[in-house]
Chains A and B, each alone.
Chain A
Amino acid sequence: MSALAPPSSEPVVAVDRVTVRARSRTLLDGISIDFSARSLTAVVGPSGCGKTTFIRTLNRMVDLTPGLRVEGEVRYLGQNIYARGVNPVVVRRRMGMVFQRPTVFPISIFENAAFGLRLVRANEDEIDTAVTEALERAGLWEEVKANLDGPALSLSGGQQQRLCIARALAVRPRVLLLDEPTSALDPAATQRVESTLQRLKDDIVVILVTHNVGQAARVSDRVAFLHSGRLVEVGPTAEILERPREKLTEQFITGRFG
């Protein structure tokens, strides 16, 4: 087993019959799907279909919403992350997450990228290397290398979002979760984030939630379609977008709803 990625046959993340219930509603209903290394999966579906809940189930962010119950298993390299004795802090360190709007912290660009490493008391040399590498992988290095100590909030929206990606990458997660990362960005910034994502999937598992079918077509190699908390179908991007098996999928991608 390589130090960086397990054999691609074994899924990095296995979602096994996951059901998430709120007090009176079922948000996710018996979802099973595997995510293997070096893949970029787009999770698409109309708003309110449970996309965000789904992605938050993968790194135990659902723990933060009071009243949600999770049934079934989410296995990270074969280990159920919801098992007793598993610390969510440990889980989240392995699964980076990027949100709808850029969420840079009100500190310098460098310190933003170094945030996760400072938490684990990495030494200065490690931090320098990791920050540089993460900014390069996020495609931001050339733009900010002269101004690493400047305030992160002075960056443009697209740059801030790529800084958030770099911040997540700096702790070297195996999985990167993105929740509609371009919904607050203009087309040019969106395009840069998308090309960053395509490069990333060579190293890690990328799971991208989006309501934008075009984006899924541009960047993903697999599409999962969610509707009303159910996984309707999943398959290679070209197949799903051109010859969907299910009626609902076809209606969604041809723009009948959503």
Chain B
Amino acid sequence: MTPESVPRDGRDRQPLPLSERLLSGLARWWPYAPALIPVALTLAIVASLVGASALQNFGWGFFSFNVTKYGILIFVVGSFLTSLPALALAMLIGLGIAVASTTFLPGWLSSWLDPFVDLLAGIPSIIYGLWGFLIVAPFFGHDIFPWLAPLLSGIPGFHTAVNSPSKEGTGLALAIVILTLMILPITTLLMRDALRSVPRDLWESGLALGATRLEVASRVAIPYSKRGIWGAAFLGFGRAFGETVAVFMVISQVQRLPTNVYGGTSTMASLIISEINDNLSGTGLHYLAEIALVLLAITLAVNIAGRWMIRRTFTDVAGI
């Protein structure tokens, strides 16, 4: 039987050819496809780094402090050493500003001041870096450290044998200060929005029970905004942990752990940007991709944990 002689009705009963089924599927599903763009891009980024890192060449040997054998732990520690203190400072100061803005300042004044803080979030990090290196660093080195260092030298990590521990002013301490300033707007902004979302009659019932403004803020508003405050912490940490240019410019980069807070060190991000130009291929590139992969893994883990935690605290609050 030749193909031409297939009866028409019989042909109708056959399953549609694959191409047509794909097309009709596409027609039905095409509006959904773009929604996957963020997922696809994230996966592409992970895949490219995994491919370039050549885990198979180094094995797991990179989990060591030995830089000459491509160990990366120094940089992991460096990243945490800069970002965690900066996060703590930015959360404390940011919470203070958020409470001041929502609780203590009259409305007209906070509506003037708040946009300034928001604007700070947009200043490019390279400008922070330039300013930190050329202005803040000499100021710290000449005017702050010489009298502050002797005062603090009893604290572990602050001990220093000389009175002026870092003449240039650059190092871990300056990196923490600059990072704090850089993430302060974002933590402030998020916590302020969280506090502002506390219903007005909840504030008022606190006051009506004879609480002061401070007591309502600390006992009602802050517990109520737990979720937003956690969100601010996780987002602020992500910013600080991945910050690259500004940290590199002020940390007085060396590939070892700092001996005290005034010393130089490296973070994962600052190492990548300072080395990429000289390592556009070969082992060096594998090494940098591996560092990037670890940086990405930690960032993603913190982010996902943060989202999960925020969701949990939210259901706690809602009593569900």
Physical contact A–B (CB less than 8 Å): yes
17 contacts between A and B (CB under 8 A): A61-B208, A89-B212, A92-B207, A92-B210, A93-B209, A96-B208, A97-B205, A105-B205, A105-B220, A105-B224, A106-B223, A107-B223, A115-B206, A115-B211, A119-B209, A153-B317, A167-B205
Minimal Cβ-Cβ distance residue in B for A177 = B208
B209: chain A residues within 8 A (beta carbon): 92-93, 96, 115-116, 119, 167-168, 171
Assess the B204–A64 pair: CB atoms within 8 A: yes
> 1/0 contact trace for B292-320 toward A, CB 8 Å?
00000000000000000000000011110
* Closest CB pairs A-B (n = 7): A93-B210, A153-B319, A97-B208, A103-B205, A116-B209, A151-B319, A154-B319
Q: A103 and B317 in contact (CB under 8 A), knowing A66-B106, A89-B210, A92-B209?
A: no
Cβ of B314 to closest chain A Cβ, rounded Å: 10
| B residues less than 8 Å from A120 (CB atoms) | 210
Closest to B225 in A: A106
Q: Which residues of B contact A101 (CB under 8 A)?
A: 201
Interface residues of B, Cβ cutoff 8 Å to A: 106-107, 199, 201-202, 204-212, 215, 219-220, 223-224, 316-319
Determine the distance from Cα of A97 to Cα of B199 in the docked complex, in whole angstroms: 16
Chain B interface helix/strand/loop/mixed: helix
Interface 1/0s, chain A 86-121, versus B by CB < 8 A? 000110110111011101011100000001101110
Residue A59 lies at the interface, judged by CB distance under 8 Å to chain B: yes
Contact A115 B204 (CB under 8 A): no
The one of A106, A153, A164 in contact with B205, judged by C-beta atoms closer than 8 angstroms, is: A164
| Residues of chain B contacted by A103 (CB below 8 angstroms) | 199, 201-202, 204-205
Give me 4 other A-B pairs in contact (C-beta within 8 A), A96-B208, A105-B223, A119-B219 excluded: A92-B210, A103-B199, A106-B317, A167-B209
Most chain B Cβ neighbours within 10 Å, of A64, A103, A118? A103
Q: Chain B residues near A171 (CB, 8 Å)?
A: 209-210
Taken together as a complex, chains A and B put the C-alpha atoms of A154 and B319 apart, in Å, by 5
A60 to chain B, nearest CB (A): 9
8 A Cβ contacts from A106-152 to B: 106-107, 115-116, 118-120, 151-152
List of B residues within 8 angstroms of A152 by Cβ: 319
Which size bracket describes the interface of A in this complex? 20 to 34
Q: How far is the CB of A87 from chain B (nearest CB, A)?
A: 10
Q: Which of B106, B211, B215, B223 counts the most A-chain CB atoms under 10 A from its CB?
A: B211
Whether A66 contacts B208 by the Cβ 8 Å rule is no
**How far does the alpha carbon of A171 sit from the alpha carbon of B208 in the complex, in Å?**
11
Name the residue of chain B whose CB is nearest to the CB of A107. Answer: B223
A90's closest neighbor in chain B, by CB? B210
Task: Report A-chain residues with C-beta under 8 Å of the C-beta of B208.
Answer: 59, 61, 92, 95-97, 168
| Contact between chains at B211 and A89 (CB < 8 Å) | yes
* Cα-based distance from A105 to B202 in the complex (angstroms): 7
B201 touches A99 (CB 8 A): yes
- CB-CB < 8 A to B206: which residues of A? 105, 115
- Closest-CB distance, B279 to chain A (whole angstroms): 52
Instruction: Tell me the minimal C-beta distance from A58 to chain B in angstroms.
Output: 11
CA distance A151 to B320 in the complex (A): 9
- One of B199, B202, B210, B223 near A119 (C-beta < 8 A): B210
Q: Which partner residue on chain A sits nearest B208 by CB separation?
A: A97
Q: Is the CB of B201 within 8 A of A100?
A: yes
Which residue, B204, B210, B319, has most C-beta atoms of chain A within 10 A? B210
Contacts of B202 in A (CB 8 A): 103, 105
A242 and B60 CA atoms in complex are apart in Å by 90
B201 touches A153 (CB 8 A): no
Kindly list chain B residues whose C-beta atoms are within 8 Å of the C-beta of A107: 223
Among residues of B, the one whose C-beta sits closest to the C-beta of A100 is B201
CB proximity of B64 to chain A, nearest CB, Å = 47
Inter-chain CA distance A46–B212, complex, in Å, is: 33
Assembly CA distance A95 to B316 (angstroms): 31
* Contact A64–B207 (Cβ < 8 Å): yes
- Chain A min CB distance to B317 (Å): 5
B210 proximity list for chain A (CB < 8 A):
89-90, 92-93, 116, 119-120, 171
What is the chain A residue whose CB lies nearest that of B211? A119
Give which listed residue, A90, A106, A164, A167, contacts B224 with CB less than 8 A: A106
Which residues of chain B come closer than 8 Å to A168, judged between CB atoms?
A: 208-209
A97 CA / B210 CA spacing, docked (Å): 10
